């Protein structure tokens, strides 16, 4: 199942699996706390299988165009997964005052 959630209403729990699907350069320039860089072009069923099946996977990008495509791709690998698109991406997070981290 694919759900959507505004990034500005997300609580960023410590145990959340957050995949930032932008390229490594964009990720290093600024990403939300706890995010892991998983570029959309590198997503695979193998990566998905390494995450506990009951754990939701949150995906985001810079502004909201890549994350929905990444969610569709992940859904095609496993239709039973809970995939949540964090709408607005890092731009909306920054605009809302959510601190971004830099580096890898």
Residue with tokens 């390229």: 23
Q: What is the mean pLDDT of residues 8-33?
A: 94
- In angstroms, rounded to a whole number, what is the distance separating the alpha carbons of residues 19 and 17? 7
Domains of the chain: 2-101 (3.40.250.10)
- Label residue 44 by pLDDT band (50, 70, 90): very high
Residues 51-83 pLDDT 10s: 999 999 999 999 979 999 999 999 999 999 999
User: What pTM does this model have?
Assistant: 0.94
Residues 6 or more apart in contact with residue 8 via CB below 8 angstroms: 88, 92, 93, 96, 98
Please report which confidence band the pLDDT of residue 93 belongs to, taking 50, 70 and 90 as the band edges: very high
Q: Is the pLDDT reported for residue 104 higher than 80?
A: no
- Calpha distance 73→7 (Å, rounded): 20
**Separation between Cα atoms, residue 78 and residue 101, nearest integer Å:** 30
């Amino acid at each position: 199942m694919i759900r959507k959630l505004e990034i500005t209403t997300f609580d960023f729990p410590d145990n959340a699996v957050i995949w930032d699907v932008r390229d490594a350069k964009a990720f290093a320039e600024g990403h939300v706390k706890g995010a892991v860089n998983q570029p959309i072009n590198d997503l695979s069923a193998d990566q998905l299988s390494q995450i506990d099946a009951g754990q939701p996977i949150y995906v985001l990008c810079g502004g909201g165009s890549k994350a929905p495509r990444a969610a569709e791709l992940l859904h095609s690998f496993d239709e039973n997964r809970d995939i949540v698109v964090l709408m607005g991406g890092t731009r909306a997070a920054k605009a809302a005052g959510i601190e971004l981290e830099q580096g890898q």
